[in-house]
A and B are shown apart, each in its own frame.
Chain A
Amino acid sequence: MNNQIKHSKGDRMLLLTNNILLTIIILVIVGPLLYVFLSSFLEPNAIIRKGLSLNASDWSLEGYKRLFTDDTIVRGFFNSLLYSTGFTIVTVVVCLFAGYALSVEGLVGKKAFMIFFLFTMFFGGGLIPTYFVIRDLGMLNTIWAIILPGAVNVWFIILARTYFKAVPNELKEAARIDGASDLKIFFRIILPLSKPIIFVLALYAFIGQWNAYFDAMIYLDDRQLHPLQLVLRSILIQNEVQPGMVADVEARNELMRISEMIRYSSIVIASLPLLIMYPFFQKYFEKGVMVGSLK
């Protein structure tokens, strides 16, 4: 008896430490996000310099106003919307189709197909030969360079296949006895049952494309075509505030102050939509990770 109480006391200390540590971790995670959000409405470094003694005159919407005086960010936003939507549709359709075919029992050549796809996960020709292919197909500076090269996602195919395999065989057999073709079975029976997996794949695809910049940087020279992330890259990383945003500013100090504010507000504009939306989709994301962890 005595022994047990002693143990639980130690355990309680451990649990308390655990809770304290987790609280610190959450502060470390959320702190920077909150700091960026607040700073986007403030003069540069106001939080650090003044702490809680901020007063009304420190708040300002100048960063946001300047950000929208130039249409670059809005155009980037709509480009991203177009690329992400297009990419999502293509990749989900291609991977669902392939995943279904590979989930069918006794498909001749199944193993060869799997090796064919899996091989590309571990070995590839590399950046330059891929660039050549896309250039030679005339896809530079077109939406296709963003949508097609990454459309076959082996991971998605495996996720879809795993999901389809779990659909009870009796359902397919019954339909087959009724004379339904494979195509009919797929569209009439399997797909309606597959909304969760379609949703998961679509979310992954959309967010992945929304947050990507690399393909656009390589394949799209034309600034008119740049997605949001490339616009952000020029503002945040390359320190190129769009000229239209600061056309009236002369003094160097003033320019620095304003570009600092523009940076904070551009982060908020770009990140807030997803951060607000993801809690509603959380369970789907988790589901995706879970299905994927099944071997």
Chain B
Amino acid sequence: MEEIVKREHAIPVSKPATTTKLSKNLTYIKKNYILYLLIAPAVILTIIFKYIPIYGATIAFKDFSPIRGIAGSEWVGLKHFTSFLTSPNFMEILMNTIKLSSFELLIGFPIPIILALMLNQLRKSSVKKNVQLALYAPHFISVVVVSGMVFLFLSPVGPVNALLSTFLDKPISFMSDPDYFRSIYIWSGVWQGAGWASIVYVAALANVDPQLHEAATLDGASLLQRIWHIDLPTLKPVMAVLFILAAGGIMGIGFEKAYLMQTSMNSPSSEIIATYVYKRGLLAGDYSFATAVGLFNAVVNVILLGVVNQVVKKLNEGEGLV
């Protein structure tokens, strides 16, 4: 791309150059139209289901009326944004979203790395394989089932309370207490996903030259020192990329599990932007307002991704995602 631009600058009269470029491209497309046919389904589906909704999101700046449609509805500027930003539950929902996802990141990000380092110490590959097999299992269970298990285990008449009953007078209502929601959400996520998330790290560690470890051992390095100075630096590039993606997704925290684990009683801590958009929009029919809330979320998300990418780039000697 850059080369082409430079070349165009070099030629003072660029008109003939552009036309030849254009006609060259056209002949290429004509000759290779099959390739464009192959990519067409993906392009068309993306336009319909991804780009047209972006146009549809303009109802965030309108008072959507089903009769007039998206184009015909009246523009109202930032009305819905201000009404969200000044609504009494704005701070609560925003903070719930940020807290839930940043705690999840803080706990969920390092655990797979530690797990991979631990697995890497297993010398016998058959043992390692079986251990990994067990660790991956919860990944294949659906989020509905995991949430269902959480409800069953933590119900007032469930096994956890039955075990605790020796110490407590009355059962704890885990699922209807806002104080427990975040811990339950995050730790059930760790239970389900940490093993699977460690795969990438395990594979990166498998690429470490064993001679490095041998040499270090001869020099008197302890196991801990070798992990710190050999294994961890190997993982750094993978960690950087995954961290940017995870941190960039902070505002995009999944709707699916939060909605399943939400009860009317724990909503003071479980109501996040995504669940709020669903309820206000599709359940209550407040289309424009809910779209504005969603759009607010999406924009913050993009900004966040950019910022985290820049920060990691600085910390990681210029290596970022983009």
- Please give the residue numbers on chain A whose beta carbons come within 8 Å of chain B beta carbons, in ascending order: 3-4, 7, 10-11, 14-15, 18-19, 21-22, 25-26, 28-30, 32-33, 35-36, 44-45, 47-49, 93-95, 97-98, 100-102, 104, 106-109, 111, 113, 116-117, 120, 122-134, 137, 148-152, 157, 181-183, 186, 207, 210-214, 218, 229, 232-233, 235-237, 256, 260, 263-264, 267, 270-271, 274-275, 278-279, 282, 285-286, 289-290, 293, 295
Does B267 lie at the interface of the complex (its beta carbon under 8 Å from any beta carbon of A)?
no
Q: Encode contact with A along B177-210: 1 for CB under 8 Å, 0 otherwise.
A: 0000000000000010001000110011000000
Partner-A contacts on B (CB < 8 A): 1, 25, 28-29, 32, 34-36, 38-39, 41-43, 45-46, 48-57, 59, 70, 115, 118-119, 121-122, 131-138, 140-145, 147-149, 151-153, 157-159, 162-163, 191, 195, 199-200, 203-204, 220-224, 238, 241, 248, 255-256, 260, 277-278, 281-282, 287, 290-291, 294-295, 297-298, 301-302, 305
Q: Are A232 and B238 in contact (CB under 8 A)?
A: no
* 8 Å CB contact of B144 from A29, A35, A233: A233
Q: Would A126 and B149 count as touching, CB distance under 8 A?
A: no
- Asked if B147 and A275 make an inter-chain contact with CB atoms under 8 angstroms apart, the answer reads no
Complex formed: what's the CA distance from A105 to B29 in Å?
13
CB distance from B144 to the nearest CB of A (A): 5
Contact A15 B142 (CB under 8 A): no
Contact A48 B162 (CB under 8 A): yes
Q: Is the CB of B137 within 8 A of A126?
A: no
Of the candidates B42, B122, B145, B223, the one having the most CB atoms from chain A within 10 angstroms of its own CB is B42
Decide: B53 and A97 in contact? CB cutoff 8 A: no
User: Is there contact, CB below 8 Å, between B131 and A26?
Assistant: yes
Which single residue of chain A is at the shortest CB-CB distance from B305?
Answer: A122
Describe A's contact surface by its main secondary structure.
helix
In-complex Cβ contact of A113 among B43, B115, B140, B294 (8 A): B43
Q: If the complex has contacts A128-B282, A129-B56, A148-B49, are A267 and B145 also in contact, measured as CB distance less than 8 A?
A: yes
Given contacts A213-B142, A232-B144, 14 further A-B pairs with CB under 8 A are A15-B121, A19-B122, A48-B163, A98-B38, A100-B35, A125-B56, A126-B57, A129-B56, A133-B48, A133-B49, A148-B49, A186-B38, A233-B144, A237-B144
Structural contact, B42 and A157, CB atoms closer than 8 A: yes
A-B contact pairs, 21 of them (CB 8 A): A4-B220, A25-B135, A35-B159, A44-B157, A45-B158, A101-B35, A111-B1, A113-B39, A124-B54, A128-B56, A128-B282, A128-B294, A132-B56, A151-B45, A211-B140, A212-B142, A236-B152, A237-B151, A263-B152, A270-B142, A278-B136
Residue of B nearest to A150 (CB): B49
Q: Would B53 and A123 count as touching, CB distance under 8 A?
A: no
**CB of B52, distance to nearest CB on chain A (Å):** 5
Q: Which residue of chain B is the closest to A257 with respect to CB atoms?
A: B157
By a CB distance below 8 angstroms, the chain B residues around A125 are 50, 52-57, 291, 295
| Cβ-closest chain A residue relative to B138 | A29
> What's the Cα separation between A143 and B30 when bound, in Å?
36
| A116 to B54 alpha-carbon distance, docked (Å) | 13
The 8 Å CB contact of A278, one of B137, B143, B153, is B137
Q: How far is the CB of B32 from chain A (nearest CB, A)?
A: 6
Set A95, A181, A229, A235: member contacting B42, Cβ < 8 A: A95
Pairwise interchain contact A279-B25, C-beta atoms closer than 8 A:
no
Q: How far, in angstroms, from A57 to B301 measured CA to CA in the complex?
A: 56
Whether B143 contacts A129 by the Cβ 8 Å rule is no
> For B301, what are the chain A residues with a Cβ–Cβ distance below 8 Å?
122-123
Interface contact A120-B46, CB-CB below 8 Å: yes
Closest to B57 in A: A125
Inter-subunit contact B238/A94 (CB<8 Å):
no
CB distance from B93 to the nearest CB of A (A): 15
How far is B32's CA from A132's CA once the two chains are assembled, in angstroms?
Answer: 36
Q: Can you list the 5 inter-chain pairs with the closest CB atoms, starting with the nearest? A: A236-B148, A129-B56, A125-B53, A126-B294, A211-B142
Contact A278 B57 (CB under 8 A): no
CA distance A91 to B163 in the complex (A): 46
Identity of the chain B residue whose Cβ is nearest the Cβ of A185 in the assembled complex: B34
- Residue in chain B with minimal CB distance to A151: B45
Residues A236 and B147 in contact in the complex (CB < 8 Å), given A122-B302, A263-B152? yes
**Min distance, Cβ A182 to any Cβ of chain B, angstroms:** 5
A128 touching B145 in the complex, CB below 8 Å, given contacts A32-B153, A117-B42: no
B142 engages A271 (CB within 8 Å): yes
CA of A130 to CA of B50 in the docked complex: distance in angstroms? 8
User: Which A residues are CB-close (under 8 A) to B39?
Assistant: 97-98, 101-102, 113
Chain B's nearest CB lies how many Å from the CB of A109? 8
B134 touches A29 (CB 8 A): yes
CB nearest to B120 among chain A residues:
A18
CA distance A104 to B144 in the complex (A): 41
Q: Give chain B residues whose Cβ lies under 8 Å from the Cβ of A264.
A: 152
Check B45 against A152 for contact (C-beta < 8 Å). yes
Q: Is A237 a contact of B52 with CB atoms below 8 Å?
A: no
Kindly report which residue of chain B lies nearest to residue A27, judged by CB atoms: B134
B118 touches A22 (CB 8 A): yes
